[in-house]
């Protein structure tokens, strides 16, 4: 007759009460708790033919009625005739003789120890706040008065505008003195005139609506200067021959093919080429 039945799935061993002695109350208490858990899982282990055959042999049950045999086995566990001894909790490594071996000492490392040989990251240089972009309006007068070769406030070199190669202001005077005298006259028609009288001038003196990319065109009749953008469409108009909102000269900005007018006229263009 076997002295004990091993149930690995439940981590315990079953003994007859007479074959097992408890050395203290804690061991007895653990056995009782293990028995309750084992009984709660009876529907599982009662279908295990190997365990049932060993339990029948342990209790000497030889009857053919399976349900009656199951009741007797369950009753033997409930009454303590069969005791369940749970496996001991191992705190370390078990050797071949079942003796707990001490756990190896855990070793920790600090980041400085782990990365002692790693290259250091170079410190970032000081960050200099970038200077704000200067708009053309900030240096308009300096640009108008500059002569070819002069250094403009934004660091660029002034280039000649006009045939005589003077400043922008001088080139406008040249236009007024040399070109306006040959301009074709036009007749004033009531109801059609506006502050922009150059728009009703003859076709020969009308400023073109398209031109070379980022090139200035000077109207030989009115003296108007027009700057064209990337697509060849107008970007800025500079008018000198009439007053608009009390301004002479004044500037118009173009937005999506429409020229600003009314109160949007400015003394000079706030555009930074």
Give 189-211 as a DSSP string: -TTT--S-GGGGS-GGGSPPS--
Q: How confident is the model at residue 133 (pLDDT cuts 50, 70, 90)?
A: low
219 located within any domain: yes
CA angle 53, 59, 64 (to 5 degrees): 55
Read off the pLDDT of residues 34-88 as tens digits, 9 standing for 90 and up. Answer: 999 999 998 899 999 998 999 999 888 988 888 888 999 999 999 989 999 998 8
**Which residue, of 99, 119, 153, is where some domain finishes?**
99
* Tokens representing residue 181 in the block: 């005298």
Strands (E), 102-224: 216-218
* Tokens representing residue 249 in the block: 């000269």
**Which residue, of 42, 70, 99, is where some domain finishes?**
99
Tell whether 140 and 95 lie within a shared domain. no
Q: Which domain holds residue 25?
A: 5-99
Query: Are 221 and 184 contacting, i.e. CB atoms less than 8 angstroms apart?
Result: yes
The pTM of the full predicted model, rounded to 2 decimals, is 0.34
* Tokens representing residue 4 in the block: 């004990």
Q: Which whole-number Å values give the CA distances from 176 to 179, 180, 239, in the listed order?
A: 6, 5, 12
Tell whether 11 and 89 lie within a shared domain. yes
Tell whether 141 and 70 lie within a shared domain. no
Q: How confident is the model at residue 90 (pLDDT cuts 50, 70, 90)?
A: low
Tell whether 257 and 146 lie within a shared domain. yes
Whether 216 shows a pLDDT value over 60: the answer reads yes
In total, how many domains does the chain have?
2
Q: What is the phi/psi pair of residue 216, to 5°?
A: -95, 140
Read off the pLDDT of residues 9-18 as tens digits, 9 standing for 90 and up. Answer: 899 999 998 8
Tell whether 151 and 219 lie within a shared domain. yes
pLDDT at 208: 93
pLDDT at 190: 63
pLDDT at 132: 63
Tell whether 59 and 167 lie within a shared domain. no
């Amino acid at each position: 007759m076997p002295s004990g039945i091993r149930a690995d799935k439940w981590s315990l061993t079953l003994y007859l009460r007479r074959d097992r002695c408890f050395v203290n109350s804690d061991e007895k208490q653990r056995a009782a708790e293990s028995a309750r858990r084992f009984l709660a899982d009876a529907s599982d282990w009662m279908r295990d033919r190997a365990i049932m055959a060993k339990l029948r042999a342990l209790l000497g049950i030889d009857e053919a009625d399976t349900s009656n045999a199951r009741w007797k086995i369950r009753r033997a566990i409930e009454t303590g005739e069969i005791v369940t001894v749970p496996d001991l909790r191992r705190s370390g490594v078990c050797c071949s003789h079942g003796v707990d071996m001490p756990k190896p000492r855990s070793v920790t490392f600090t980041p400085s120890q782990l990365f002692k040989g790693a290259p250091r990251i170079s410190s970032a240089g000081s960050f200099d706040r970038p200077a704000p972009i200067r708009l053309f309006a900030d240096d308009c007068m300096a640009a108008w008065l500059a002569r070819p070769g002069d250094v403009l406030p934004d660091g660029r070199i002034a280039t000649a505008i006009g045939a005589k190669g003077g400043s922008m202001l001088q080139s406008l005077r040249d236009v007024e003195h040399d070109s306006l005298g040959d301009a074709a006259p036009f007749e004033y028609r009531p109801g059609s005139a506006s502050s922009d009288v150059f728009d009703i001038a003859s076709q020969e003196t009308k400023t073109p609506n398209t031109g070379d990319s980022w090139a200035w065109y000077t109207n030989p009749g009115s003296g108007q200067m027009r700057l064209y953008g990337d697509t060849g469409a107008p970007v800025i108009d500079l008018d000198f021959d009439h007053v608009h909102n009390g301004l002479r000269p004044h500037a118009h900005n173009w937005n999506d093919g429409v020229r600003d007018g009314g109160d949007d006229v400015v003394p000079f263009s706030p555009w930074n080429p």
